[in-house]
Structure 1
Amino acid sequence: MTSGHDTGDGGTKAVPPSRDRLLIDLGQELRAMRVELGDATGKFSAVVKDVSEVIGPDLATLRADVAELRGVVDTLVGEDEAEVEPEEPRLHWPDLTTAVAEEEWEALGKWVHTTLGYWYEVTRGQLPDCWPLHRPAFLQVWWLRLSYDDAHTGSRASSVNMAEWNTRWLDAALERIAAAIPSTMCRAVPGAPGQHLVPAHEAQQQAEAARAPRATAPAGGGQYSIPSYMQAQQQAQRVVSPPQTSVPGEPQPVPADKAKAASSDVTDPRYWGEFFEQARRADLQWRHERDRAAAAAEQQANQAP
């Protein structure tokens, strides 16, 4: 059996495969492809099964956890935004609410006592005892404390700001306080609260009257002898801690040299405390009255047709 036939030129012509052969080869290729397709389908089914039975539940759980976590984060962010809302600045003294003013009065007194008195040793001459009763002087102390907190403990605290407060703002405030409190009317008293708005001549007259001998009431009149100023001083010297009976601000016998010496004492609540309390009560009473008037006006406005 030959695979070709003579072409007449010495060569042999190839015989094309028969139709049956082609069909057989095609069938074999189709069977091979079917086997491969079956294998791929089996592998795909296994993957789908793993995803649905193993990975699927884990993925669903993960999605639920992510959603829950997102809710928690949103809640925390909302709370943080509410918490970090800047509170109303406590800067303008007249606009403070009554509750805030009560807190600030207490904080201011502690600050003057500790910072100005203990640490900086500001004297009674630099900060007269009656400073709380002089509104311009009080406001100077108020903003001096605010600037101190800002320079030392606030977000802008730095050594440079601390130095500027110490070398610039402290001296500037004390100068303005001295200008706001007349030295001819307000002065220090040795060992006691100073005088407030007492003219010099009135204080001098009071001192002279106290030093002058007092007349003794006639016998049998039910009166008693009033000891002179010198006698009272001698009696006081025999007492270690005599009680303080004078009212702050009232005229007292204050010799000029002793008043000057008292001005060099470091400021202390035992000197300015009574003035401070007097000013505090008056301020809070004013704020309570303001609150009542505002509430009445609001109620009246709500009742209007």
Structure 2
Amino acid sequence: MTTTTGKGQAPRDDLVTMLAVDVGALGARVDGMSAKVGEIERHVGELAAIAAAVSELRERTTAIAETLTRMNKRNTGGEPQKTWSWTGMSPEERADRLDELQSWVAEVLIPQYGDYLRDQTLKPCWPHHPAAVNELSWLYVEWFNAYLAEERRTRDAADWHDRWLPGVITRFKTVFRGCPHDPNE
């Protein structure tokens, strides 16, 4: 039996059926929007990862530029740098030079030449090994002279890659053999 709600109004069953159809259509639209929102969230997540990577690259590039600027300030006359003598330095100069060397290792040597160091020939504890500090010091000075000195020659860069870097890497194996800082040794 169908009831009516009053004169000229549709029966209640028809009204409920129409509302159910409208709610079903609304539910389908909500599902479609939910899928679109999910897709937008996925894209935003991808963009956030890209933005983080760009930010990290910007920081690394800025750090490298600052290191190179600091290195260049030491060589204002355009003359090649001379080899450092750690024994002849004051404690303040030693601290400054070690800071400069650590910056170069972290911001130039490892990022640019890390493929040569994959087998961990350069240990993180290198500042505690005088032989490693000496090796890296003259390697850095040679790199500086090959790449940043005013009168640099292609031959100097070739020597750095072909002779100096491989020689230092080879000697690192001896320097770090039995390292007391390495729990694997």
Query: Structure 2 length as normaliser, TM-score?
Result: 0.49
Which of these two proteins has the greater Rg computed from alpha carbons?
Answer: 1
More strand by share: 1
More helix by share: 2
